[in-house]
Structure 1
C-alpha cells in the first residue's frame, strides 16, 4: 500500500492507515493542531478581556455633594462620631454608681461531719442548708460619685464640641482638595492649549524652512518650545492624578471610579476688613472655644472632687430572703446596714490630687487663652489673604489680556515676515505662563475664602449651605 503524500490529511492518523509513517507529516499535523488551539485561546482571552474592561460611567461630583458625603463616608469623621458614643456610654457607667445595685444569690449546700470520742470516730452527721437572698446597696451620699457623673456629662459636651471642630476641619480639607484638583485640571488644560499653539508654530516653521524663507534655528526653537510644554504636561498629569486619589480617599470612594468635578463657580466676595465685633462673635460661636470653656469647667469639677475626698461617704445596704435546711423551707431572714466611711490618714494622697487638679485647671485656662489668640491670628491673616488674593486675580486677568495682545502682534509680525519666530515663541510662552498664573490666582482666592469661612466656623457657607 502506498503511503498518503498529503501531510495535512487527518485520515492518515486512523487505524487503517499505512504502516509506513511519514514523520514529517505527523509533525506538521501536530503543529497545525497546536496553532489552532493557540488561536482559540487568544480569541477567548480577548473576549474575556473586553468583558472585564467595561468602562465605568463618570459621575459628576459637586462641592456641596462632596461635603454632604463626608458625614457618612469619611473615616476620620466616623471615628470622631464613635468618640461621642463612647462619652455617652461613660455617663451611663458613672450614673450606675448613684443608683441602687441589686443582686440575687441562691445557695444549696450539703456537708458531712464526724464526731469523735477519745480519738475514736463515733459517728457522722449530714447537714443540708439552703439560702436565697436579694442583696442591695445604695450610695446615700458619695461626693466623688456625683463629681464623676458631672464630669462624664461634661465629657459628652466636650466630645460633641470636638466633633463639630472635626467636621469643620474635614470639610475644609475636602474643599481644599476639591479646589486643588480643579486647579490641576485647569492647569492641564492650559498646557494642552499651549501644546496646540506650539505644534502649529512647529508646522509653520517646517513649511518655511522647506520653502527656504526661514533658517533651521527657527525650526529648532519651535521644537524646543514644544518639548518643554510636553514635559510640563507629564508633570501636571501626575499632579492631577495625585490630587484625584487624595480626594477619593477623603470621600472613601473606590480608587478606580472615575470622578468628574463640577466647577462651583463661586461668586466674587466683597472686600472684608477686621473688626473687633466680628472677632468677638467668632470667639463666642467657635466650637473650639466652647470646648476650651468646658475643659475649664471639668477641671474645676476635678478640683472640687479632689478636695471632697475628705467628705464622709454614707452607704445603705441590706438583704432579704429565706434560709433553711431544704429548698422549700420558708424561714425569713433580712439585714439592714448603714455605714459611714471617713478618711483619717491617706498618706498625703488627697493633697497631692488637689495639687494636680489645680495645675490642670491652670493648664485649661492657658489653653483657652492660647486658642483665642490663635483664632485672632487666623482671622487677621484670613482677611488679609482674601483681600490680597482678590487683587491678584484682577492683575492676573489683566496680564492674560496683555499676553493675548502680545501674541496677536507677534503673530502678525511673523506672518508678514518682519521678524522671525523668536518673538512669537516668547509670546506663546508668556501667554501660557499668564494663563497658568490666572488659574493659580483664582485657586488662591477661593482658598482664602475657604480659610476665612473656616475661621468663622462655617465652612458650609462657601457653597451657600
Structure 2
C-alpha cells in the first residue's frame, strides 16, 4: 500500500477538525486505532452572555455584597429616629406619713444637628454600599468572562490534541504495517510510537485542564459539578477600540472611581457627626412630687445640661478629620492606579488585536502553504513522511497559538470592561 494514501487519510482528518486549515478530500484507505474526545457535548451550548447572567443571578459573594445595601438601609432608618423619653419613679422614705414620691418624665433634646448628621452619614454609607455592589458586579462580570474563555481555550486545546492523537495513531499503525512488510527500518516504528505516546500525554493534560476550567466556571454560580454543556466562542471583532484618551475621560464615571468618591463623602459625613457631638444635649424634665406628710402634690420642672469641661469629643473629631483626609488621598491614588491599569489593559488589547490579525492573515496561511508543499513533495518523493508530520505538527501548534491569542484578546477586552459603567451604560462596553 502506498504510504501517500495513508497520509492523505490523516490530512482529511485534520481538515475535518479545522476546515480553514486544509481542503484535502481524499478518503483514508487504511485506518488505525483512534480515541474519542472528552469534551462537553450534552445540551445546548452555553454562551458567554448566559454564563455572565447565571453568575450575576446566583453568585454567593455578590449576594453577600448586596446584603450590605439592605444593612445600610436598616441603619438609615435607625438614624432618623428620635430619642426615647424616660419615665422615672423615686420614693423617699419608707414610713407612710413622712415619705415622698416623685414621678417624672425626661426627654433628651439633641442640639447641634446631631440627628441630621446621623442621617447624612447613614445615607452616605448606603450609597457606599451601592458603590461596592457596582464594583463587585463589574469585577464578577470580568472574572466570569476570563473563566469562560479559559474553559473555551481548554476545550479547543482538547480538540486539537484529539486531532493530533488521531493522526499519530494512524501514523503508528502505518509504521507497523510498513515494518512488517520490510519496507522501512524498525526505527521508524519507534519514532511513531514516541509521537503517539506524546500525543496521548498531551490529550490527557488538555482534558485535565478542561475539567478544572469547567469546574472553576461553574463555581461562579454556585455549582459544585463541572459545566456539562459545550462552550461557543462569540464572533471576533477586530474593530479598533476607543482611543486611550477617550477611555481615560470615561474613567471618572467608572464604578471604582465612584466608590472612591463615595468613601470620601462617607468620611466627611462622619466628620459632621463628630463635630455635632461637641454641642451638649439638653434634657427636659417634667413630673409630679407628692408629700404624704402634708398631703400635697407639687409639679416638678427641670433642665439637665452636661458641662463640656473635659470631653468635647475632640479626639474623635481629630480622628475623623484624618480619615477624611486619608480618603481624599486614597481617591487620588485610586485615580492614578486606575489610569495605569487602564493603559496597561488598553495596550494588551491593541497588542492581541494586531497579533490575531497577523496570525489570521499571514502566519496561518504561510503555515498552510508549507503543509501543502510538504504533502505535494511527499507525493513526488522529495520529502519523507516525517517531514510531512513535522509540517502538520507546526500547523497544529500555530493553530493552538492563534486560538490562545484570540482568547487573550477577549480577556484583555474584559479587563477594559472593569473600568466602564456596565450597569448604567451597557452600550459602552468594550466589544471583544
Tell me the TM-score normalised to structure 1 length. Answer: 0.73
Say whether the 8 Å CA contact 1:312–1:340 is kept in structure 2.
yes
**Count of residue correspondences:** 383
Tell me the TM-score normalised to structure 2 length. Answer: 0.78
Q: Which residue in 2 is equivalent to 1:455? A: 419
Q: Which residue in 2 is equivalent to 1:288? A: 256
**2-structure distance, mates of 1:217, 1:200:** 17
Q: 1:136 to 1:434 in 2, by over 3 A?
A: same
2:307 is the alignment partner of 1:353: no
Q: 1:302 aligns with which of 245, 263, 270?
A: 270
Per-residue CA deviation, residues 227-255 of structure 1 (Å, 9 max, x unaligned), is 11111111111111111111111111251
2:44 is the alignment partner of 1:76: no
Q: 1:141 to 1:354 in 2, by over 3 A?
A: closer
2:358 is the alignment partner of 1:406: no
2:360 is the alignment partner of 1:392: no
Greater percentage in strand? 1
**1-structure distance, mates of 2:299, 2:151:** 75
**2-structure distance, mates of 1:334, 1:431:** 102
2:385 is the alignment partner of 1:421: yes
Q: Which residue in 2 is equivalent to 1:371? A: 334
Q: CA deviation at 1:363?
A: 0.8
What RMSD in Å do the two structures reach over aligned CA positions?
A: 3.4
**2-structure distance, mates of 1:382, 1:236:** 28
**1-structure distance, mates of 2:212, 2:76:** 44
Q: Where in structure 1 are there 5+ consecutive unaligned residues?
A: 1-55, 115-124, 326-330
**1-structure distance, mates of 2:347, 2:301:** 73
Q: 2:308 aligns with which of 338, 343, 347?
A: 343
2:158 is the alignment partner of 1:188: yes
Q: 1:332 to 1:183 in 2, by over 3 A?
A: farther
Q: 1:266 to 1:337 in 2, by over 3 A?
A: farther
Q: CA deviation at 1:157?
A: 0.5
Q: Where in structure 2 are there 5+ consecutive unaligned residues?
A: 1-40
Matches within 5 A, 1:58-457: 58=43, 60-96=45-81, 99-102=82-85, 135=105, 137-255=107-225, 258-275=228-245, 277-283=246-252, 285-318=253-286, 337-346=302-311, 350-397=313-360, 398-457=362-421
Q: Which residue in 2 is equivalent to 1:43? A: none
Say whether the 8 Å CA contact 2:215–2:227 is kept in structure 1.
no
Per-residue CA deviation, residues 410-430 of structure 1 (Å, 9 max, x unaligned), is 233334433322212211221
The secondary structure found in structure 2 opposite 1:261 is coil
The secondary structure found in structure 2 opposite 1:315 is strand
Q: 1:184 to 1:269 in 2, by over 3 A?
A: same
Per-residue CA deviation, residues 320-361 of structure 1 (Å, 9 max, x unaligned), is 9x9999xxxxx9997654433341122xx6333233222212
Q: CA deviation at 1:210?
A: 3.2
The secondary structure found in structure 1 opposite 2:135 is helix
Q: CA deviation at 1:272?
A: 4.2
The secondary structure found in structure 1 opposite 2:220 is helix
Q: 1:403 to 1:65 in 2, by over 3 A?
A: same
